[in-house]
Structure formats: C-alpha cells, structure tokens
Structure 1
Amino acid sequence: MTTPEPQPAQAPEQKPAFILYMDGPEYDEGLHRLTLWVRHLLLPVYGREVTSGAEWCSSWWKHPEAVAQFYGLWMAWQELTGPESGATGPSTWHRDHLTHILASLRDPSGPFSGCKPGRHRAKQPPEMDPFPS
C-alpha cells in the first residue's frame, strides 16, 4: 500500500470583494471600473428613456443603493457572460439580475426619485430608534 504524495497547499481562490466592503483607493478604483461598465455597456444597451415612471440620476454614483446594486449586477455579468460561463449564462443574467435591478432602481419611489437628468437630489435615509439594551 502506497501513501499519496502530499500536495502543496493551494491558496483559496480570491473572490472579488463587494464594493460596500471597500474603502479609500480600493473603493475609488472599484467605482471607476463600475462607471466604465455602466457608461459603455449598460446604458447604451439597456438604458431606456427617462420618464416619470422610470426615474434616472445622471450622478447615480452618489446614491449608495445604486452603487451597491449596479456593482452586484456587474459582478453577476462577469460571472455569467465570461468565457467560462455556460451558454445560458447571458439569459440567466437577464432573467435573474438585470430586470429586477433596473426595475428597483428606476421605480418612481426608488433611489432616483426626485432626480432629473443633470440634477441629483440627495436623499436622507430613514431614522432608526436606538436598540434597547
């Protein structure tokens, strides 16, 4: 009976960090890459006309919710449309990610409510009572 040769330890696969866990230069670089994807792919292909029923903010990166949702959408895009993805990856991305994210962001009561093209309106998050200790 032979014993198997010891295998060298492999480092765990490095997964991309979600943008809400980034700060400083790492956040700035992540946001920069995201804005390129939104500007050059997402908006030209999927950016529909702005209406009162489909709000938009041309300074969307000032909305933390939009940044988080677009970044998640972008991460899913990379996983489901890359060279290693299966043939149904793009369809899955459209069905499970794109439709829901855009509907949520562009909803009349969503994060862009009150924004107009070229005019950002900052939103205040709701307050929360202190948790009793």
Structure 2
Amino acid sequence: MSQHDLGDLDDSFAGEPPEQGPEDDDSDVYPDLPSWVEQWFCPAIALKLTDGHRGRTWCAKWWKHGPVAVRLYHVWRAWEKAVRSGDDHAMSAWWSYDCDPAVRVLSDGEVGPMHACSPTTHRDVPTLPCDPFPADDLEAVALALVTTRSHPDPDSEG
C-alpha cells in the first residue's frame, strides 16, 4: 500500500468527512456528537459483542446512557482536536490514550455502563446513588482536606 492509500483508510469507515477549507481550520469535522458516533466512531470500531453481563457489549441506543454520552463527547472532542492538528502522531495518541481505554470501559459487558444491554436491546442501567450534600458538613470536609494536605504521608517521597 502506498502512503496515500494508508491516509485514505481513516476516510473509508463511512465515506469522507465534510471537506474543510483553509478558512474552516478551527471548525469541527462533525457538527455534533451523534453525527460523529454514527458516521465515524461506530463504523471505525469492530468488537466481538455478547448479549451483556460478560465479554463486550454495546447498546445501539448509546445516547440513553448518560455515562456513555459524556465519555463519548470527550472522546469526540479529543478526536476533533487531533484531526485538526494535522499531526499523524496526534491521531495515534488519540487511539492509544483516548479511544481504546474508553471503548474498553464503555463496552465492558460485566461492569460497564451498558452491561445490561445487548447490541439489539436497551435496558436502563442505574448510575451511582448520591444523596444531597448537607451544607453544614462543608466545613468538616474543608477541614479534613486542609488537615490531609498539611500532614503529608510519611511513606511518600518529597
């Protein structure tokens, strides 16, 4: 394969992204998260999927899972920045440091945010429980933080 052919691989997942002119260097390739997920991310990722509770899973209704949408939003923003940089290393780093770890967490069929789903069935997955923070405890938390910082761990260096 020539270098030109390899460069075309990124565009082959779902057709070429919209053309960018020199005046659009700071604009996004995709207008929003759903467009990026549907047109680039999902076609670019291939996994052996199971029906949930084990292995890898994915929910086609990924947007109904808040933790998934939040993570994918930030993975998309990092992708946009890497693409705009024009630096081939930036895209390699994006795969290694942004995409691959996020995909591992999101698709974890045992404990991930879509663990109860299958590729064809959506099931709501509860997020972490959280009681409202009592305003009168704020002073105690602040004191604990200050105390912890003023007495460093004797086992740590420095």
Tell me, in whole angstroms, the C-alpha distance in 2 between the residues paired with 1:56 and 1:99.
14
Residues 29-76 of structure 1, C-alpha deviation per residue, up to 9 Å, x if partnerless?
x9x821221111111111323123111111000001110111100000
Q: State which structure, 1 or 2, has the greater radius of gyration over its C-alpha atoms.
A: 2
Unaligned runs of 5+ in 2: 1-25, 137-158
In structure 2, give the amino acid aligned to 1:62: K
Secondary structure of the equivalent of 1:109?
coil
Secondary structure of the equivalent of 2:103?
helix
Large movers: runs of 4+ above 4 Å: none
* Structure 2 match to 1:75: 77
Q: TM-score, normalised by structure 2?
A: 0.59
2:37 counterpart of 1:38:
yes
**Identity among equivalent pairs (%):** 29
Counting matched residue pairs gives 105
* Structure 1 match to 2:17: none
Q: Which has the higher contact order (CA 8 A, sep 6+)?
A: 1
Tell me, in whole angstroms, the C-alpha distance in 2 between the residues paired with 1:115 and 1:97.
23
Unaligned runs of 5+ in 1: 1-13, 17-29
* Structure 2 match to 1:3: none
Q: TM-score, normalised by structure 1?
A: 0.69
Does the CA-based 8 Å contact 1:80-1:90 persist in structure 2? Answer: yes
Secondary structure of the equivalent of 1:78?
helix
1:42-121 aligned within 5 A: 42-51=41-50, 52-82=54-84, 84-107=85-108, 108-121=110-123
What is the CA RMSD across the aligned residues, in angstroms? 2.4
Tell me, in whole angstroms, the C-alpha distance in 1 between the residues paired with 2:132 and 2:81.
40
